[in-house]
């Protein structure tokens, strides 16, 4: 009995140490993440301070202020998809799977590209830092919707056919790495033999959005408000 009691106490001690170790590891991970976030915030603050100083300096001359306002307007137009844009990036072509499931018609639906596959690709591209994206020639912006109507897929209320081709402007290495991440959308599609062709490009041209967004309810907040 004394021996068994000693073994039990020792086991409980090991469990306690293991639990404390995992908790400590988790806390260290949280601390590291917090420090990284603080470092990013410091960098962003410094960037904003430098930008403010530039505004203050250029505001002394009408020409300098107009240049800064022009840069901001240009950036806003790019974000809204009002301008065609060019730059380095990637081209991604997706086609349905080459697998066949016999006479199981319902099962074949799992082997075609759906709207949620395209949404996931777009999200991974945005998360990887893509500055502009198009899908089958349709510019993707904040108001863009990728939807499925029957077996047809629509982007910006325009029906697009297969194959589905994404163009994305940004850091090519980061975009390719994000798309090829283990367990990501392309990794899953390749397992079931979807046809995936991912190509880095020196220069890509992405068209503007066909219909400019209009805002009826959202209004800018003025300083005095």
Lowest mean pLDDT among 7-21, 67-81, 154-168, 189-203: 7-21
Give 164: exposed, middle or buried? Use CB within 10 Å, 0-12, 13-18, 19+. Answer: buried
> pLDDT tens across 17-27, in order?
444 443 454 45
Q: According to the model, what pLDDT value does residue 18 have?
A: 41
Q: CB of 129 within 8 A of CB of 170?
A: yes
* Other Cβ atoms within 10 Å of 169 Cβ, number: 25
> pLDDT tens across 62-80, in order?
566 566 666 666 666 666 7
Q: According to the model, what pLDDT value does residue 195 have?
A: 95
Inter-CA distances, 101 with 97, 111, 131, 195, Å: 11, 9, 39, 17
Could you tell me the pTM of the whole model?
A: 0.65
- Coil, strand or helix at 169: strand
Q: Which helix (H) or strand (E) holds 59?
A: none
């Amino acid at each position: 009995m004394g021996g068994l009691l000693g073994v039990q106490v020792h086991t409980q001690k090991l469990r306690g140490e293991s639990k404390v170790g995992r908790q400590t590891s988790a806390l260290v991970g949280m601390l590291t993440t917090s420090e990284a976030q603080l470092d990013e915030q410091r960098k962003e603050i410094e960037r904003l301070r430098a930008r403010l100083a530039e505004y203050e300096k250029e505001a002394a001359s009408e020409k300098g202020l107009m240049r800064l306002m022009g840069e901001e307007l240009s950036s806003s137009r790019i974000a809204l998809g009002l301008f065609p844009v060019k730059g380095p990036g990637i081209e991604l072509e997706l086609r349905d799977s080459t697998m066949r499931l016999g006479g199981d018609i319902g099962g074949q639906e799992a082997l075609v590209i759906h709207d949620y596959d395209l949404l996931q690709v777009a999200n991974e591209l945005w998360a990887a830092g893509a500055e502009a994206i198009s899908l089958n020639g349709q510019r993707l912006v904040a108001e863009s919707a990728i939807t499925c109507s029957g077996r047809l897929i629509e982007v910006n209320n325009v029906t697009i056919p297969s194959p589905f081709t994404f163009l994305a402007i940004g850091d090519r290495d980061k975009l390719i790495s994000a798309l090829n991440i283990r367990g990501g959308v392309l990794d899953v599609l390749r397992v079931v033999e979807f046809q995936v062709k991912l190509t880095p490009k020196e220069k890509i041209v992405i068209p503007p959005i066909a219909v400019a967004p209009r805002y009826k309810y959202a209004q800018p907040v003025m300083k005095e408000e």
